[in-house]
Structure 1
Amino acid sequence: MSRSLEEILADAKTRLTVPFIDDPALEARMIVEHYSATSRTDAIVRPDMPISSDVLAAIDDALSRRLAHEPVHRIFGFRDFHGLRLSLSAETLEPRPDTETLVDTVLPFVRETAARLGTCRILDLGTGTGAIALALLKEVSQATAVGVDISADALKTAARNAADAGLGARFEPLLSDWYAATEGRYHLIVSNPPYITSKELETLQPEVRYFDPARALDGGEDGLDAYRIIARGADACLEAGARIAVEIGYTQKAEVTEVFRQAGCMLIAAVKDLAGSDRVLVFQR
């Protein structure tokens, strides 16, 4: 038995009207549109459009999963990021709009380096879905990237995303504990490392705590463990004039800057995200 698109949208919004969902109308629309292959235009022009029983079953399942705190994009299995559609998996962090700030910050440097040298070699530490590296490769055709991760599952996902985007020839997934297996020198190191303190993990929203991989979040007792590793190991694999750009938690600017200063790196740029929070720091040796 089919039901109309208008009915399904209304019912989905009602089901998702719970305290932990900020915008039930938006999420209801996302879920219904995804599984029914409809659009906002359809909802306006064809509200009586019939939705088949198999699609209704898929929507019902997705709504149940969302009510169990699973994020919408985890349910879909992908997330759009900087013009790319990236597949997600159990061991990948869901790339978020804040991280696009990191891409936009370093993009002029990647373009300038590629124009001057004919290439720009990028090392993406903790690559996850490959989001940062692939977004940069998409924008600069002369750039290449090595995406490092300790998770084989994440690297498989990153390689798939690279292939799907037509970037596989310029992206190398590398199984490594940070710098352990890396070789050669790079013009740019980028990373969105774990930066939440171990204690804070227990206070995160269920959508993050139960569905993002813990080791992509846990930055140790003070949240700075990964930055210490990145700062200490950078010198051995940086070209002259190279840069290091990292995403940070909004309270960590001073602490992360000091970590890199102690490793001989000078802060050359600090960039806020769209919400006005400190988000990206760029260093040079």
Structure 2
Amino acid sequence: MSTAETWTINRLLTWTADYFKKQQMESPRLEAEVLLGYALGCPRIALYTRFEEIVNDENRAKFREFVKNRVAGMPVAYIVGKKEFYSLNFNVTRDTLIPRPETEHLVIAILDSLKTWPANSALQVADVGTGSGAIAITVAKQAKTSQVTAIDASKGAAEVARKNATELGVADRVKVVLGDLLSGVDPQQKFHAVAANLPYVSDAEFEQLDKTVKDFEPKSALVSGPHGTELIAKLIPQAAAHLHAGGLLALEVSPMIADKVGALLNANGNYEPAAIIKDLAGHKRIVTAKRK
């Protein structure tokens, strides 16, 4: 970007979108708009009424740094510190995974299961491996009578989840706690649903991940172990001990391990037959089972 030329918002967007396209990014124009809006401190949509506005040197320098980081592989969500999920805006940091559209299927499975309980029930939900709190907070926003326990082993992630719960107005119904799966939960505590988007990438799969994931997102939130099912296998009996009869365990998984996870649930003996839900791309994404 030459400083000798007049850089309007429209010109910056056009130049950057073309540059991103040459870098083979999937959504070059959208990413350029998100980053420039962040540099200017305004919503992306507001740029459309300001195309001819000249961007000053300070904001152009900010934008240039964002573009540099993006080309280096840093995801846009980490650059701007935000990611939309289920029409809500979540803070994210490199202590948390970036919420993904596929995870909305997990939220829907939980919400559908909660509707089967009597109206106005004091619904108890656990979100294990909460990260940014996207699942827990979305459930609390949608299921108005629910109380959600959001658990994560990462102190940094728990802090982000608490901040999101406060900013999104559900801090009174989302309790964020540090813990190893459900091991720290009161033995008498029962839940109507347990959701978990746990690490499910195997050690070998991790090496094949795109650099935007492998180099920037927290490995501890991605990798389970040699098989990808280690943490899920540990959670299944724990959840059985904490679910009401008829309560749902819903797990987000890799398509590669969906059938194995279903077999683990069926072998446990405490659940009704497992069901597998496919995402919009047709991949096996969510495995669910009700407590007998």
Q: TM-score range by the shorter chain?
A: over 0.9
The one-letter code matched in structure 1 to 2:124 is R
The one-letter code matched in structure 1 to 2:149 is V
- Shift in alpha-carbon separation, 1:46–1:84, aligned structure 2, 3 A: closer
Q: 1:142 deviation in Å?
A: 0.5
1:163 partnered with 2:166: yes
The CA distance in 2 between the partners of 1:18 and 1:221, in whole Å, is 37
Equivalent of 1:139 in 119, 138, 142: 142
The CA distance in 2 between the partners of 1:94 and 1:46, in whole Å, is 30
Tell me the percent identity.
27
1:274 partnered with 2:277: no
Q: Which residue of 2 is the match for residue 246 of structure 1?
A: 251
1:52 partnered with 2:74: no
Equivalent of 2:102 in 98, 105, 121: 98
State how 1:13-162 maps to structure 2 within 5 Å.
Answer: 13-36=17-40, 37=42, 39-40=44-45, 42-43=47-48, 46-113=50-117, 115=119, 118-162=121-165
The one-letter code matched in structure 2 to 1:251 is M
- Shift in alpha-carbon separation, 1:38–1:186, aligned structure 2, 3 A: closer
Equivalent of 1:206 in 207, 211, 232: 211
Give the gaps of 5 or more residues in structure 2.
none
State how 1:256-271 maps to structure 2 within 5 Å.
Answer: 256-264=261-269, 265-271=271-277
The CA distance in 1 between the partners of 2:238 and 2:65, in whole Å, is 46
Q: 1:237 deviation in Å?
A: 1.0
Greater mean alpha carbon deviation, residues 93-102 or residues 46-55: 46-55
The one-letter code matched in structure 1 to 2:202 is T
- Shift in alpha-carbon separation, 1:195–1:39, aligned structure 2, 3 A: closer
SS at match of 1:223: coil
1:182 partnered with 2:169: no
Q: 8 Å contact 1:191–1:247 — kept in the other structure?
A: yes
The CA distance in 1 between the partners of 2:153 and 2:199, in whole Å, is 13
Give the gaps of 5 or more residues in structure 1.
none
Q: 1:33 deviation in Å?
A: 2.6
Q: 8 Å contact 2:198–2:232 — kept in the other structure?
A: yes
The one-letter code matched in structure 1 to 2:69 is R
**Aligned-residue RMSD, C-alpha:** 1.8
The one-letter code matched in structure 2 to 1:273 is D
1:184-222 CA-to-partner distances (Å, cap 9, x unmatched) read 111111001111111111111111001111111102111
Q: 1:137 deviation in Å?
A: 0.4
- Shift in alpha-carbon separation, 1:171–1:38, aligned structure 2, 3 A: closer
State how 1:199-238 maps to structure 2 within 5 Å.
Answer: 199-238=204-243
TM-score by length of 2: 0.91
- Shift in alpha-carbon separation, 1:20–1:244, aligned structure 2, 3 A: same
SS at match of 2:137: helix
Q: 1:261 deviation in Å?
A: 1.2
The CA distance in 1 between the partners of 2:63 and 2:246, in whole Å, is 52
- Shift in alpha-carbon separation, 1:246–1:105, aligned structure 2, 3 A: same
The CA distance in 1 between the partners of 2:46 and 2:127, in whole Å, is 40
The CA distance in 2 between the partners of 1:130 and 1:114, in whole Å, is 26
Runs of 4+ in structure 1 off by over 3 angstroms are 38-43
